[in-house]
Amino acid sequence: MVATVATQSAIVVLAPLVVEIGRSFDASVSAVGLARSVLAGVAVAVSLAIGPLIDRSGVRPVLLWGAVLAMAGAALTAAAPTLALFYAAHAVSGAGVACLLSAGFAGVAAYFRSEDAAWAMGYVVGAQSIAWIAGNPVVGLLAEAGSWRLAYLVPGTIAALALVAGLAAPARAAPASLGGGFADVFRDRSARRWTIAELVAYSAWTAELTYAGVFYIESYDVGESTVGILLAVGSVVFLAASLNTERLTTRFPRRRLIALAAVGMGLLLVPLLTLTPAVAFTLGLFCITALLASIRSTGSSALGLAQLPDRPGAMMGARTAGAQLGYMIGAASGGIVLALADFSALGVVLCAGMAISALLVLRVSDPGEVSPW
């Protein structure tokens, strides 16, 4: 759980800071947002080796290395004098994210029985929202009180906590054979479809999260600290719903539930990014979208573990690769849409992406799926 909080803090810290960082480097919002794509691109590349490594050596050593890299990335980002070095620092953070995220999710298989996986996954997924709930308000306050550079103390501190947690964790390997790593994932049709569905879903959801702070600032003229609080409210909803998703996935067919949640998210993203009658209206839609996102993400992560139960590291490495590639595509494509059009057009594009994800997940096999009756 601490590992996934650390990864999310490294990713979301940029959201309330994009505008201020752009002023500091005399760069556009799209140019600064590209840093998330750099982080995600490196995370994708590193995760190709991380998954099989977890299956061979276990969760703990990968978690430790990830924490060290995440701490270094936060420090280098805060000290970056130019936009180019800002990007380079995010590359270091990306390597840390790949290690921590893959190890965090594979830890569900390493430390819990298969019948407890759905319950444990809810906590691991939900824990990520702590970065938004507790981290982003602090990020906004530090940015307004000092500078955006000071705000990077938040991801650095959480990465340090992940290091402590890793040192305290027992060295227990996931129960798997060496196998063929990612070759096993992509040879399996269902596992391959699941990975692509995750990629598409995270592309759409990340585009919204990356520019959510910008949307609030440009639409309602609020400050960074207010943005941090607004984003945290939606994250509270995400956390609460994630801890209870198991009740839904054990009662209803999991694939249909994931698909319905994805479609619902897509339909809500259109008015969310189009209508601006009041901050409360936008926040309300965001909270409902966050609730559906928790159902989709928690259910889908548990579904991924069920694809190749003897290869949890490879499957969760594939999840990291798909999610981070989605982050890269989402941040970059979102910036392009905003540069060429506006937030309304972005909402339509993201709705289409979530619909495609829903169609893909319906074609994934689920050996543990229950009957609605």
Give the pLDDT of residue 352. 95
pLDDT band at 37 (very low <50, low <70, confident <90, very high): confident
Distance CA 55, CA 62 (A): 11
Question: What is the domain count for the chain?
Answer: 1
Listed in sequence order, the residues at least 6 apart from 281 whose beta carbon sits closer than 8 Å to its beta carbon are 275
Rounded to the nearest 10 degrees, what angle do helices 153-168 and 83-111 cross at? 30
Q: What would the two tokens of residue 202 be?
A: 């995270």
Residue found by looking up tokens 């619909």 in the block: 355
Please return the burial class of 26, using the count of CB atoms within 10 Å of its CB with bins 0-12, 13-18 and 19+. exposed
Residue 300 has pLDDT above 80, yes or no: yes
Residue 158 has pLDDT above 80, yes or no: yes
Residue 244 lies in a domain: yes
Domain with residue 119: its CATH number is 1.20.1250.20
Residue 205 lies in a domain: yes
Residue 205 has pLDDT above 80, yes or no: yes
Distance CA 211, CA 19 (A): 10
| Total count of residues recorded for the chain | 373
Per-residue 3-state assignment (H helix, E strand, C coil) for 287-323: HHHHHHHHHHHHHHHHHHHHHCCCCHHHHHHHHHHHH
Residue 278 lies in a domain: yes
Residue 56 has pLDDT above 90, yes or no: no
Listed in sequence order, the residues at least 6 apart from 284 whose beta carbon sits closer than 8 Å to its beta carbon are none
Residue 373 lies in a domain: no
CB atoms within 10 A of CB 277: 7
Per-residue 3-state assignment (H helix, E strand, C coil) for 206-270: HHHHHHHHHHHHHHHCCCHHHHHHHHHHHHHHHHHHHCCHHHHHCCCCHHHHHHHHHHHHHHHHH
Give the pLDDT of residue 373. 40
From residue 195, alpha-carbon distances to 10, 36, 46, 274 in Å are 23, 20, 16, 30
Write out the residue range of the structural domain in which residue 231 sits: 2-361
Residue 367 lies in a domain: no
Averaged pLDDT for residues 6-29: 86
Give the pLDDT of residue 325. 83
Give the pLDDT of residue 180. 54
Residue 287 lies in a domain: yes
Residue 371 lies in a domain: no
Residue 62 lies in a domain: yes
From first CA to last CA, the distance across the chain in angstroms is 33
pLDDT band at 181 (very low <50, low <70, confident <90, very high): low
Give the pLDDT of residue 372. 45
Residue 270 · residue 347 · CB < 8 Å: yes
What are the residue ranges of helices labelled H in the chain? 2-12, 18-25, 29-57, 59-79, 83-111, 117-127, 130, 136-145, 148-151, 153-168, 182-187, 189-220, 224-242, 245-249, 254-272, 279-307, 312-340, 343-361
> Mind listing the pLDDT tens digit for each residue in 224-264?
678 878 878 888 888 888 887 777 777 778 899 999 999 99
pTM: 0.79
Reference 315, options 52, 78, 117, 91; nearest CA is 52
